[in-house]
Amino acid sequence: MRILLTGATGQVGGALLDPLSERGTVLAPSRSELDLTKPSGIKTFLDGCRPELIINPAAYTAVDRAEDEPGLAFRVNAESPYEIAKWAAHHDVPLIHFSTDYVFDGSGQSAWREESATAPLSVYGRSKLAGEEAIRAAAAPSLTIRTSWVYASQGHNFLLTISRLATERTELRIVNDQFGAPSSAREIAAAVTKIVAGGLPAFRSRVRHCDTVNIACAGETTWFGFAEAIVDGLRRRNRDLMTKRVIPISSEEYPTRAVRPRNSRLDLTRARQIFWITMPSWQQALDAELADLGSGQLREARRAV
């Protein structure tokens, strides 16, 4: 099976490379080969590589910068996915696309279900919702995976930022009124691999009845709780840290260009019932990433000697 994987240098795309390679030939184009900022070139690229499955985790994810670059955000997150989905529909090729908790307005305290009303608060959220709607309109055999608070032991993300700041600052002030589940790219990739493990006929059968599913780690916390867990985990691994205290603050005390949803909880019932996926707790996933972070840094140190 020829699998087209976009965004292979990103967190989820990078985590998918190895497990997908065990199931087929993975085509992982560079940005120069497949430029999602230029939707007009997508059909030509797809005609050339003729994938049998498309997995699209690539996205414009600069949430605050999107407020000043709405055109670019919509080209990457909505117009390009539409072109991919049109090609997939025309050639009857299954498509897995990724979206976000930012399509919701963050109100209330209940976990968002796949059919919950959407009302994004930011340009980024609106661009991702537009991508979902465009794929649905194209009528390809597709599945949109919504996830939340993605991180990994590599790249640019909250885990690595806190790991760095904990070696530089005696105090960390972290928002404590936004709730969600930190979700490691590794566990998201494992779930995607399980979704396609039964083969394309089984995948097609499921997505006829379900075009969207929430995939995130189980449980909930706040960014403050996540940061505290990271610092505690680093201490248990004998990391030399400057941070003595992690201090909870409100969203108002840490203003950002784009409004973040206060409630990013995702209901995981459909993932269990339709795809037989039971996600680990966010704490379990974090332990695995911290272990990998430590071994990765050790490898880097050895190479530097």
CA atoms within 13 Å, Cβ hemisphere of 117: 4
Answer yes or no: 124 catalytic. Answer: yes
Quickly tell me which residue has 């709780």 as its tokens. Answer: 225
Positive or negative CA dihedral for 101, 264, 227, 217? Answer: negative
Distance CA 141, CA 85 (A): 9
Query: How many helices and strands in the chain, by DSSP H and E?
Result: 11, 12
Distance CA 77, CA 131 (A): 6
Distance CA 36, CA 230 (A): 34
- Classify burial at 142, counting beta carbons within 10 Å of its beta carbon; exposed 0-12, middle 13-18, buried 19 or more: buried
Report the relative pairing of strands 221-222 and 179-180 from DSSP bridges.
Answer: antiparallel
Q: Count Cβ atoms below 10 Å from residue 54 Cβ, excluding itself.
A: 25
Q: How far is CA 75 from CA 39, 81, 129, in A?
A: 7, 9, 13
Q: Which residues contact 101 (CB under 8 A, 6 or more apart)?
A: 112, 146, 147, 148, 149, 180, 216, 261, 264, 266
Instruction: Point out the catalytic residue in the list 60, 102, 124, 151.
Output: 124
Closest CA to 196 of 70, 21, 32: 21
Q: Which residues are catalytic?
A: 124
